Amino acid sequence: MKKMLSGFLFLLFCAGFLSAQNQGDSQSEGVVVFMYHRFEEPKYPSTNIRMEQFEKHLEYLSQNGYSVWALSKIVRYIVEGREIPKKVVSLTIDDAYKSIYTHAFAKFKEYNFPFTVFVNSSPIDNDSKNYMSWDEMREMKLFGAEFANHSKTHDYMLPKEGELSWKKRIKYELESTQQRLHEELGEETNENPKLFSYPFGEYTKETASFIKDLGYVGVTQTSGVIDIGGDTKFLPRFPMAEAYADMNGFVLKLKALPLPIKEITPKEEPLISSENPPTLTLELKYPLKNLNCYLSSGEPLSLEWASETKVLIRAKKRLEPPREKYTCTAQAKEGRWYWYSHLWIIK
Residues 268 and 210 in one domain: no
For position 312, which CATH number holds? 2.60.40.1220
Closest CA to 16 of 338, 342, 341: 338
Domain stop point among 256, 289, 320: 256
Residue 98 burial class via C-beta count within 10 angstroms: exposed 0-12, middle 13-18, buried 19 and up: middle
pLDDT in tens, 120-164: 999 999 999 999 999 999 999 999 999 999 999 999 999 989 999
Largest CA-CA distance found in the chain, in angstroms, rounded = 57
CA angle 337, 281, 270 (to 5 degrees): 90
* Beta carbons within 8 Å of 267's beta carbon, 6+ residues apart: none
Spatial separation of the C-alpha atoms in residues 89 and 276, rounded to whole Å: 36
Same domain membership, residue 300 and residue 171: no
Last residue of a domain, which of 202, 231, 256?
256
Determine the Cα–Cα distance for residues 47 and 66; give it in Å rounded to an integer.
Answer: 25
Q: How many domains does the chain have?
A: 2
Cα separation, 105 vs 112, in Å, equals: 10
**Hey, which bits of 51-167 come out as E strands?**
67-68, 88-94, 115-119, 145-149
Q: Return mean pLDDT, the chain.
A: 92
248 lies in the same domain as 303: no
170/294 same-domain check: no
Q: For position 230, what pLDDT does the model report?
A: 82
pLDDT band with cut points at 50, 70 and 90 for residue 27: low
What is the distance between the alpha carbons of residues 31 and 230, in angstroms, rounded to a whole number? 11
Classify residue 222: in a domain, yes or no: yes
Assess if residue 21 is contained within a domain: no
- Do residue 309 and residue 234 come from a single domain? no
Residue 7 lies in a domain: no
For residue range 28-51, what is the model confidence (pLDDT) as tens digits? 789 999 999 999 999 999 999 999
Q: Give me the sign of the Cα torsion angle 20, 26, 28, 32.
A: positive
Residue 11 pLDDT greater than 80, yes or no: no
Q: Is the pLDDT of residue 309 over 70?
A: yes
Count Cα neighbours of 233 within 13 Å in the Cβ-side half-sphere.
Answer: 17
Residues 142 and 110 reside in one and the same domain: yes
Residue 214 sits in a domain whose CATH number is: 3.20.20.370
159-199 tens-digit pLDDT:
989 999 999 999 999 999 999 999 999 999 999 999 999 99
199 and 117 fall within a common domain: yes
| Domain of residue 212, residue span | 28-256
